[in-house]
Structure 1
Amino acid sequence: MKVLVDNGEYWLRNRGDIAMMVMTVERLRERWPHARIGMLTDEPHILRGVLPQAEPVVAHAGGPWGRDGIAGRLEETAGVHVIGPAALRWRSATEVPKHYLRGVKNWARQEVHARTTGAPEPEPTGIPELPPVPTALAGADLVIAQGGGYMTDVDLYQAHRTLNLLEAAQRHGIPNVMIGQGLGPMRDTELLRRAAEVLPGADLIALREGLRGPALLSELGVPREKILVTGDDAVEFAYRLRRPGIGSDLGLCLRISDYSKVTDSARDTLGEVLRREAAALNTALAPLIISEYDDEDRRHTLPLLVGAARTRPVIGRAGTAQDVARQVSRCRVLVTSAYHLAVFALSQGIPAVAVTASQYYDDKFYGLADMFDADAAAGLRIVHLDVDNLDAELTRAIRQLWESAPELRDTLQQKAVEQIDAGRAGLDRVFRLVAGGEGRLGEPAEPLQGEW
Structure 2
Amino acid sequence: MKILVDHGAYENFGDLAMLEAALARLRTIPGVELAVQEAPVQWPWPGIRTMGYDIRPPGATLRRFARARILAGPPRAAMHAAARCWQLLAHHLAGLAGGTGAWPVRIAGGPQRLSQFCAQFDALFVAGGGDLNDVFPQALWRCCCLVRGFAAQGKPVFLSGQQIGPIRHAGSARLLRAALRRATFVGVREPGDSWRLATAAGLAGARLALTGDDSLGLLPAAADAIDAALAASGIGREPFLAVNIRIGPYVDVAADSLPAIARVLDGVAGRCRLPLLAVPISVADEDSDLQAAEALARCLRRPLPILRGNRLSAALLKGVLGRAHGAIGMSYHFCTFALSQGVPAIALYAGDYYAQKAAGLADCWGDARLAEPIARLDDEAPGRLLQLLGDEALRARLREAAPMAARNWEDAFAAHVVRPLAGRAQAYLNSVKSSQ
Normalising by structure 1, report the TM-score. Answer: 0.73
Match of 1:170 among 125, 131, 151: 151
Aligned partners of 1:150 and 1:159 also within 8 Å: yes
Q: Is the 8 A contact 1:371 1:415 kept in 2?
A: no
Question: Aligned in 2, Cα 1:319/1:436: closer, same or farther, shift over 3 Å?
Answer: closer
The structure 2 residue matched to 1:391, chosen from 365, 375, 378, is: 378
Q: 1:141 aligns with which of 114, 122, 143?
A: 122
1:41 to 38, 42, 52: 38
Q: Following TM superposition, where does structure 1 have runs of at least 4 consecutive aligned residues deviating by more than 4 angstroms?
A: 124-131, 238-243
Aligned position for 1:288:
279
Deviations 1:379-411 (A, max 9, x none): x52111223xx233531332113312x543342
**What secondary structure, in the 3-state scheme, does the structure 1 residue paired with 2:390 have?**
helix
Asked if the contact 1:352/1:401 (under 8 Å) is kept, the reply is: no
CA 230–267 in structure 1, closer or farther in 2 if over 3 Å, else same? same
| SS at 1:354 equivalent | strand
* Range 363-372 or range 226-235, more displaced: 363-372
Equivalent position SS for 1:427: helix
Determine whether 1:261 maps to 2:248: no
Question: Which of 237, 259, 267 pairs up with 1:276?
Answer: 267
- Are positions 1:237 and 2:218 aligned together? yes
Could you tell me how far apart the structure 1 residues matched to 2:408 and 2:131 are? Answer: 22
TM-superposition CA deviations, 1:269-310 (whole Å, max 9, x none): 111221232233221110111001125212222232245434
* Identical aligned residues as a percent: 26
CA RMSD, 1 decimal: 3.1
- Mapped to 2, the partners of 1:282 and 1:214 lie a distance apart of 40
Q: How far, CA to CA, are the matches of 1:131 and 1:291 in structure 2?
A: 30
Gaps of 5+ in 1: 63-121, 438-452
Q: How far 1:317 moved relative to its partner?
A: 5.2
CA displacement at 1:199 relative to structure 2: 1.1
CA contact (8 A) 1:239 1:347 kept: no
Taking a change above 3 Å as real, the CA distance of residues 371 and 200 of structure 1, as seen in their structure-2 partners, is: same
The one-letter code sitting in structure 2 at the alignment partner of 1:394 is A
Match of 1:201 among 182, 198, 223: 182
- Asked if residue 365 in structure 1 is aligned to residue 358 in structure 2, the reply is yes
Paired with 2:195 and 2:137, the residues of 1 have a C-alpha distance of 20
Which position in structure 2 is the counterpart of 1:408? 394
CA distance in 2, matches of 1:206, 1:320: 25
Could you tell me the TM-score, scaled by structure 2's length? 0.75
- Please list the CA deviations of residues 45-99 of structure 1 after superposition, one character each: whole Å capped at 9, or x if unmatched: x55x33335320211599xxxxxxxxxxxxxxxxxxxxxxxxxxxxxxxxxxxxx
Question: Partner amino acid for 1:409?
Answer: R
Q: Hey, what's the Cα distance between the residues in 2 that align with 1:222 and 1:166?
A: 15
For 1:344, the equivalent position in structure 2 comes to 337
1:57 to 44, 51, 55: 51
Give the equivalent residue in structure 2 for 1:332. 325
Q: Which amino acid aligns with 1:7?
A: H
Q: Figure out how many residues of one structure are paired with residues of the other and give that number.
A: 365
User: Is the Cα–Cα contact under 8 Å of residues 160 and 186 in structure 2 kept in the other structure?
Assistant: yes
Which structure 2 residues correspond to residues 144-155 of structure 1 after superposition, within 5 A? 144-155=125-136
Mapped pair 1:156 → 2:137: yes
* Contact 1:236/1:416, CA 8 A, preserved across alignment: no
Q: Which residue of 2 aligns with 1:113?
A: none
Q: Map Cα deviations across residues 22-61 of structure 1 (whole Å, 9 max, x no partner).
A: 10000112333x5321111264xx55x3333532021159
Q: 1:240, 1:287 → 2: CA distance? A: 18
* Aligned CA distance change for structure 1 residues 263 and 209 (closer, same or farther; 3 Å): same
Q: Tell me the distance in 1 between the aligned counterparts of 2:219 and 2:261.
A: 26
